[in-house]
Structure 1
Amino acid sequence: MANEKAIFAGGCFWCMVKPFDSLPGIESVVSGYTGGHVKNPTYKEVCSGTTGHTEAVEITYDPEVFPYEKLVEVYWQQTDPTDAFGQFCDRGDSYRPVIFYSNEEQHRIAEASKEALEKSGRFDKPIVTKIEPAAPFYPAENYHQDFYHKDSDHYKAYRSGSGRDQFIEKVWEK
């Protein structure tokens, strides 16, 4: 079976790479932008809020080794699915949580997973993460790629300072 792609937006793309990067069957995790109306946007343009894009990661994976269902489970555990207006300290549309599906199977899996999460009782507020058709994905500038490797001290300070790590520990590591 050929490799497939999954696209997830969950706030700062720096924080969305590492959780997927070391999983079995993952070929690559690329930081970038999707969901907007400007071709090949820059980081500065996306941050301006005028392009309609959100920061996201595009994961190339082998579904025989690590199926899409498991990728979606990992995704939920990296985000606050009750916050539609950004993630943690990052606010605005460019940081909104979205699962972008590439085909009807991914759509079905994402919707079923969202419904199961809603019914789980883990959250007191509604699950507001959007599930939308995939749009063109534009890789971010090179300095954003593999940021957790390139500047690990900055990455760790950012994750902790954003409140992401504390949220994940409180909600998911029970």
Structure 2
Amino acid sequence: MENTEQENKQYEKATFAGGCFWCMVKPFHKYDGVLEVVSGYTGGHVPNPTYEQVCSETTGHYEAVQVTFDPTVISYKELLEVFWQSVDPTDAGGQFGDRGSSYQTAIFFHSEEQREQAEASKKEMEKQGPFDLPIVTPILPAVPFYRAEEYHQDYYKKNPSHYGRYFVGSGRSGFLDRHWKKD
């Protein structure tokens, strides 16, 4: 009976580019209603790119995560909040220690409703957010998403020590603490 119930559920996808995808998986994993977070590449012009191709900055891809979620448990709006609190949306050159177009931020919408919610969320961030600089994160239509190599999936679980050093050493941890940490 439970399998039939699961098969009838309407899951949705959300796709976010927030710099290094290693650092974008963990923030979403901890929420009920998030079924899967996949590291991958999107937004480019080369089918099935490799990590090396994307890093060469010649394919047009962003490093991104694709989140499969149950909208009856967690809303797209809540996922947008997780995204904003995981990135520096004012940096057009990449994210933290990672520079280049493949590390830029972007929100890729999968429906008109997602586009509207993303735009409203961005306007709210511009008005109420903790940033002095303009928000440069584009909101773009979803295009093919290519799963990254297996060693990139759930990197924070597979390599916790390296992940922790990278999260701090890249500058991401300090930035997020300064802008979002609640006292």
Instruction: Give TM-score, length-normalised by structure 2.
Output: 0.94
Indicate how the Cα distance of structure 1 residues 117 and 152 shifts in structure 2: closer, same or farther if over 3 A, else same: same
Q: Which protein has the larger Cα radius of gyration, Structure 1 or Structure 2?
A: 2
Letter in 1 for 2:143: A
Residue in structure 1 matching 2:77, options 56, 63, 69? 69
* Structural mapping, 1:1-174, within 5 Å: 1-120=9-128, 122-174=130-182
| Separation (CA, whole Å) in 2 of partners of 1:128 and 1:56 | 16
State how far apart, in whole Å, the 1-side matches of 2:89 and 2:30 are.
23
SS in 1 for 2:131: coil
Deviations 1:25-47 (A, max 9, x none): 01100000000000000000000
Matched residue SS, 1:66: coil
Pairwise CA RMSD of aligned residues? 0.7
The gaps in structure 2 that reach 5 residues or longer are 1-8
The CA deviation at 1:53 is 0.2
Counterparts of 2:161 and 2:66 in 1: how far apart (Å)?
24
The separation in 2 between residues aligned to 1:85 and 1:132, in whole angstroms, is 17
Offset of residue 122 of structure 1: 1.6
| Percent pairwise identity | 61
Number of equivalences = 174
Question: For the residues of structure 2 that align with 1:43 and 1:161, how far apart are their CA atoms?
Answer: 21
Q: CA deviation at 1:22?
A: 1.8
User: CA separation in 1, counterparts of 2:166 and 2:94?
Assistant: 15
Distance (Å, rounded) in 2 between the aligned partners of 1:143 and 1:117 = 34
Structure 1 moving runs of 4+ over 3 Å: none
Give unmatched runs, 5+ long, in structure 1. Answer: none
